[in-house]
Structure 1
Amino acid sequence: MRRRGVLLAAPVLLVAGLLGGCAPSASEPSAPDPVDVAADGYVYGAAPVTLARTRANMTCLLPVNQLYSQAQLSGPDSRTVVAPNVDTLYSIAWLDLRAGPVLLSHPDMGERYFGFQFLDIYTNVFANVGTRETGAAAGARLIVPPGFSGPPPPGVAVIESPTWDAWMIGRTLVESDADLPAAREVQQRYEMRVVGPPVSDAPPPLPPTDCGNNPAPQALAASGPEFFDELSAVLASNPPPPADRPLLDRIAALGVTPGGTPSAGELAAVTALESGMTLGESRIEAATQTGGAGWRTLPDAGRYGVDYLQRAVVARIGLGANVPEESAYSVTRTDADGEPLRGDRGYRLHFPAGGLPPVDPRGFWSVTLYGPDMFFVPNALQRYAIGDRTPGLVRNPDGSLDLWIGAAEPGAGRSNWLPAPAGEFVLMLRSYLPTAPSWTPPDPEPRPEG
């Protein structure tokens, strides 16, 4: 195999007058505010730095280019990636395609839902392999780095990654507790291996991990200007798409360049980066919280283009979200009146007859409860989601379905109860293989009995 070409890194273009100098004349455009530029850079970098930190933490335990299959469903101890599901067993691999192409294969999956999702380092989804996209029959895919060409093995389709580092998330549906051993068995038949020689002219790898001391993916702003050093490392290791160049040209004036160390730059630039982080963080937080009362959907998950704010929001509340045709996500922190959801109040989620989440017969749906940090909250019932595979769900006589969500067990009993902490919480409704991705769930209503 040989490379077709090398992507160019973003050029370093200084913005005249950005950090001082003569004032522009009346005929010249005013220089951009350095703090605003830094804020844009922080929003831009939030998703790739979050993913790079997640990779650093996970590769302390999982070597790159090796497939790891989770033997148990996620629970309160699962705190590496925000908003995990409890519907599927995860299979994870961090790809470093500098080592050469990687071959992924799976057995015939029958009627079991499965999917392998591929994200580039900027959190864009660039491929899906599985029930919807490629079917249940046994198959193999060759994942190659940017610019590679060459004949794949016979009968193997090629997936080209836009970046040299990529994340693969596999999901294998578990129908019930009794089905868990069978799901594990098929999961153990997934295979992944490097099949090509290393690439000699690849960009440098991401910095080595500092196991035990890696910064938390959920605490970007705590790192101060060093955050931009991390972003610069990502840019050097994974040249971004050409569409990002206008923004990258602007932040280059603050020293944020491929392989740079902007935190060690001129005082004025570092000060702007510090202030810009605060402003950028406020923009992400505001965008995360806004959306009005009730549910918020993620219609552009996985395909962000130059909508860096949306990309940052999804990385904050649902890192690894798939494209809408594979899985639709609706998230709410409030009830129909815009009040924060609290377990000590209690709610009913009422689905009218014929009004359940619309999914393909091969798909599934679930409502998952998280704390404000988007991780599970322990409860005595050890139930963290409720959905179409929950045993014993009771329908109303008219065919409608009520789910009861709160800290106290409802009068109707435990069958339809999703336990909540006494304080605030977040709900996420997932629809895998949705037939109407824009469908919106009913709003949580205060529990009728009080």
Structure 2
Amino acid sequence: MRITIISAIAGLLLLINPIAGLTEERAQPQDDWRESYAYNLGVAAMHYSYPYLRMAQVRWNWTMAESPHPEVQPNDALNQFWHASRLTDADWVEGGAPNNDTLYSIAMLKVVDEPFILSVPEMDRYYTFQLAGMDSDNFGYVSELTHGRKGGHYALLPPGWKGELPDGVEPVAEVPSPWILIAGRTYTAGPQDLAAVRSLQRQYRVAPLSQWGNAEVRSPEAEVFEPFDPAVDKLAVWKTINRMLSENPPLGDEKALMQFFKEINIGPGLDVEALDEASQRGLARAAKEGLAQIKQLHMAGAGELVKRNGWVYSTALGSAGAQGDFMTRTLHQSYAGIVANDPEEAIYYGGYHGSDGKPLNGSKRYRMRFPAGSEPDVDAFWSITLYDDKANMVQNEIGRYSIGDRSRGLVRDAQGGLTIAIQADAPVDEQVNWLPAPKGPFWLVLRTYQPGPSVLNEEWSPPAVTPGK
């Protein structure tokens, strides 16, 4: 691994609490060391285990809860596909910075006793089915890049499965956890293209092996627990995390972390209520403050990120945990995106600061200019999407949430350059393209789908986001 388990945790502890242990200014009652120890170790545990908490919430919302906008926000996706029927917009309130370029197809699968088979028709466009475990790391793909446009049938196998697959079914990977997420994306050129994409979606299938080929597939039942409620239980977050870790225990070197966090009863099969009262107080604080830190650190663009012209990115995204980069996994893979594509599929650039070094805020007006010939080098397409500090899109008067090479009516200047005006009010300049911003904090994601050599080789950089005078 690029970063060892112990050094990763040591780094988290140093970043979050530079002076760990008994650092409270107040006097220390006899048992307060237990509270301080549980707090400090608990904050590190939160930064490691956050993806499991996030996936528990997402799984419940997408399979059991009622969606207020089922046309854009997943529901009833347990062991079967849910399909978006229009491009994601501000009606999505799940966070996770969804794109505004593709129609999503989502399935939460429990793969234990037999394989599930994903069927894709012959395609006429960009598509990708991202396969992720409950730690938010990817373990495989079925996509235009990996399998072309010919269509086919692809098996997701339980660990150690030794059975036979039907003719014409190609094994893709063994699942890393009993529960997995399929995040499908199908390129959509705009409202005029929706009917064609919906036709493709109707041909996507996911079925257990025992039902594969049936005209009607009955979605297998599976227990999905509702995350514990922090409003009524101070240890709710940790109970949710422990249950998810029990269902989907970490593998490989990460088992060592479970031994580390076992001291505060965080891990598979452990009970935080069995701790003493002082340790429980420490964990309750760690949950609240650790979650606040994750949001703050994300908006600050923290972590082991490459910084270019005020933008940040990481080629660890998609499998940051497998590379030992748990900070990136939590902040920029799980919190920011729920999951993130592997670099070969898409590289994401996060814009958190203007060229003045200050956080982006709609109280200012910004410009971002691509000189002629300097737009991202991609084999598919690119876009820039704006989000609020909850990683949701922002309602605006023109219903525009992104700008990219698929945007209709782009305006270019006399030199062929493309200027994007990022501001809360409509720009007066007619030679710019307006990306509406909220009045307060916001951030940007520049997505490069199927990035070309200059992007993959880190030779290309986005232009700076420059505040106006």
Which category of TM-score, normalised to the shorter sequence, fits these structures? 0.7 to 0.9
Kindly provide the amino acid, as one letter, of the partner of residue 72 in structure 1. Answer: R
Within-5 A mapping of 1:204-243: 208-210=224-226, 214=227, 224-243=234-253
SS state at 1:116 partner: strand
Distance 1:206 1:43, change over 3 A: farther
Partner of 2:7 in structure 1?
Answer: none
For residues 267-287 of structure 1, give each alpha carbon's deviation from its aligned partner in whole angstroms, at most 9, with x where no partner exists. 233233234335644653453
- Counterpart-to-counterpart distance in 1, 2:254 and 2:231: 22
Question: Aligned partners of 1:411, 1:94: CA distance in 2, in Å?
Answer: 46
1:107 CA drift (Å)? 0.9
Match of 2:327 in 1: 309
What is the DSSP-based 3-state SS (H/G/I as helix, E as strand, rest coil) of the residue aligned with 1:258? coil
1:95/1:230 CA distance change after superposition, 3 Å: same
**Partners of 2:194 and 2:432 in 1: how far apart?**
21
Equivalence for 1:297: 313
- 1:374 and 1:222 map into 2 onto residues whose CA distance is 26
User: What SS class does the counterpart of residue 46 from structure 2 fall into?
Assistant: helix
Deviations 1:21-71 (A, max 9, x none): xxxxxxxxxxx9443322221111101111111101111141421111111
The CA distance in 2 between the partners of 1:87 and 1:125, in whole Å, is 21
Q: Does 1:87 align with 2:126?
A: no
Structure 2 residue runs without a partner (length 5+): 1-20, 22-35, 65-74, 212-220
Q: Measure, in 2, the Cα distance between the counterparts of 1:108 and 1:90.
A: 18
Closer/same/farther in 2, CA of residues 415 and 209 from structure 1, 3 Å limit: farther
* Cα distance change, pair 63–316 in 1 and its aligned pair in 2 (3 A): closer
Alignment equivalent of 1:329, drawn from 335, 348, 363 = 348
1:102 to 85, 105, 116: 116
Return the alpha-carbon distance in structure 2 between the equivalents of residues 426 and 222 of structure 1.
Answer: 33
Give the C-alpha shift of residue 78 in structure 1.
0.9
Give 1:371's aligned residue: 388
Q: 1:125 aligns with which of 120, 124, 138?
A: 138
Q: Which residue of 1 aligns with 2:14?
A: none
Alignment correspondent of 1:5 = none
Shift in Å at residue 327 of structure 1? 0.9
User: Taking structure 1 as reference, are residues 413 and 224 closer, same or farther at Cα in structure 2, changes over 3 Å only?
Assistant: farther
Partner of 1:391: 408
| Shift of residue 191, structure 1, vs aligned partner | 1.1
The amino acid across from 1:186 in the alignment is L
- Residue 350 to residue 414, structure 1, CA distance change in 2 (3 Å): closer
- 1:302-357 per-residue CA deviation (whole Å, 9 max, x = no partner) reads 11223222111021112121111111111122201112222232111111121101
Name the TM-score, length of structure 1 as normaliser: 0.83
Residues 99 and 78 from structure 1, CA distance in 2 versus in 1: closer, same or farther, beyond 3 angstroms?
farther
Check the 8 A contact 2:419/2:431 in 1, yes or no. no
Count of residue correspondences: 402
Contact 2:228 2:237 in 1 (8 A): no
Deviations 1:214-272 (A, max 9, x none): 569xxx89964222221211222112112112211011121223222213422233233
Q: Residue 165 and residue 366 in structure 1: after superposition, are their counterparts in 2 closer, same or farther (change >3 A)? A: same
TM-score, structure 2 as length reference: 0.80
Which residue identity lines up with residue 234 of structure 1 in the other structure? M
1:441 equivalent in structure 2? 462
Residue 280 to residue 345, structure 1, CA distance change in 2 (3 Å): closer
Call closer, same or farther: CA 1:118–1:346 in 2, change over 3 Å: same
| Residue 422 of structure 2 corresponds to residue 405 of structure 1 | yes
2:434 to 408, 417, 423: 417
Give the Cα–Cα distance (whole angstroms) in 1 for the partners of residues 410 and 368 of structure 2. 13
Whether the 8 Å contact between 1:341 and 1:425 is mirrored in structure 2 is: yes
Q: Give % identity.
A: 32
Secondary structure at 1:80 match in 2: coil
Is residue 284–residue 309 contact of structure 1 (8 Å, CA) maintained in 2? no
C-alpha contact 2:228 2:240 (8 A) present in aligned 1: no
Equivalent of 1:154, from 145, 148, 167?
167
Aligned to 2:271: 261
Tell me, yes or no, if the aligned pair for 2:77 and 2:106 is still in contact at 8 Å. no
CA distance in 1, matches of 2:223, 2:120: 32
Structure 1 position 420, deviation (Å): 1.4
Residues 414 and 68 from structure 1, CA distance in 2 versus in 1: closer, same or farther, beyond 3 angstroms?
A: farther
Structure 1 residues 371 and 139: alpha-carbon distance in aligned structure 2, compared to 1, 3 A threshold: same
1:340 maps onto 2:359 in alignment: yes
Deviates more, 1:220-229 or 1:49-58: 220-229
- Name the counterpart of 2:69: none
1:251 is the counterpart of 2:241: no
List structure 1 runs of 4+ shifted beyond 6 angstroms.
Answer: 220-223
Contact 2:117 2:206 in 1 (8 A): yes
1:81 is displaced (CA, Å) by: 4.1
Structure 1, gaps ≥5 residues long:
1-17, 19-31, 198-204
CA pair 118-221 structure 1, distance change in 2 beyond 3 A = farther
**Residue type matched to 1:48 in 2?**
Y
